[in-house]
Amino acid sequence: MKVPRVVIGMSGGVDSAVSAFLLKQKGFDVVGLHMINWDSQEEGSSTCPRSKDEADARNVCDRLNIPFHTVNFVKEYWNDVFLKFLENYKIGRTTVPDIDCNYSIKFDAFHKVAQEKFDADFIATGHYATTSFGDFQQNRKHSEAIRLFSGRDPLKDQTFFLCTVTQEQLKRAMFPLGSLQKSEVKRIAEQQGFDRVVKKPESMGICFIGKKKRFSDFLDEYIEPKPGRIVLKDGQQIGKHHGIHQFTIGKRIHGKYLNERSHFGFFVSEIRSDTGDVVACDGSHHPELYATRFLINRPNWISSSDPLEEISPSKILCRIQRTHPPVPCKVEKSEHYLSVEPKIPLRATAPGQMCVFYTDENECLGGGEILKIEKTL
């Protein structure tokens, strides 16, 4: 019987290193494949340490005695992820490039290369998530739909970023770390002598910005300045800015933009792309920052059917940020969109973000993009 071949995405970090080790330990025919998604020339010396990541990924594969290859997705990433990110920020929308990267690159382009060039039976990544088919597809049944569940480590769970994956993609995916805590992953890495990756800092934030740049400075390199006003909800002007791309809902407004002061500080409550106005409110817990109803587009459901037709409304939860726990919500459907009312008002809900749905049993159902905030406290 042929040993299943698993192509594992090797990032150069500890999670993919331990994933590769676990796959090898399980007896799979493992091939390491490192993705190059960002052109290091684009950012000079301040970009992600691509060459170091590639070297670290190669080192792990050498230690495990598994083949190592690279694949270049710079063009695909630029066109399908980065340009969308920029276009949204130009109009004051807060998108999540990690979700777009999973949708266009890691679970689409990468899967195709793994299957067509390396004859993969399964494709693995170091995401903290699990499925009804098991971390190693040991429970798979061809006639059944596959379901996505939160990883065992609630602090590292990455199902939020996987909300757009399809049945077909999930059925060939493996998440070897799904049942592990991060501390266990690090311990395995230390035991296996993966010293180069176990001591690396966690990759946080958006990769293409690099470690030495402020987010606002990075955006200024790609988006032309377009001056506008900073106003209160009643229209009173309290400052000026040089581009709405510098602002996201819920963030404090730097004093350099303001000609008025507040004891509690001014925070962004709305961005009006049509006029270029940034609307401010006084204080980080102002009622205008807490959404009680918002509209989203028709979600991408992981199931082939609409789970809202099959699951009791009392069991549906939503989250708008990965670091926040899901909260109960009321969902109403119309022809083109869904109206979502969280039972607990959600701070800094912004157009462009994803609203990801779960059940009370930690199943990730899918998600839809937030279009408009309809009501605040």
Give CA–CA dist 301/50, Å, rounded. 34
**Burial bucket for residue 119 (CB in 10 Å: 0-12, 13-18, 19+):** exposed
Residue 362: count other Cβ atoms within 10 Å of its Cβ.
17
Strand pairing of 29-36 and 68-72?
Answer: parallel
Q: Please identify which of the residues 48, 61, 163, 207 carries the catalytic annotation.
A: 207
Is-catalytic flag, 329? no
137: alpha, beta or left? (left if phi > 0; alpha if psi -120 to 50):
left
Q: Please identify which of the residues 48, 61, 101, 318 carries the catalytic annotation.
A: 101
Give CA–CA dist 251/247, Å, rounded. 7
Residue 89 contacts residue 223 (beta carbons within 8 Å): yes
The pair of structure tokens assigned to 137 is 């597809």
Give CA–CA dist 300/294, Å, rounded. 17
Query: Residues 206-235, buried b or exposed e (16+ Cβ, 10 A)?
Result: bbbbbeeeeeeebbeeebeeeebbbbbeee
Is-catalytic flag, 364? no
- Catalytic residue annotation: 101, 207
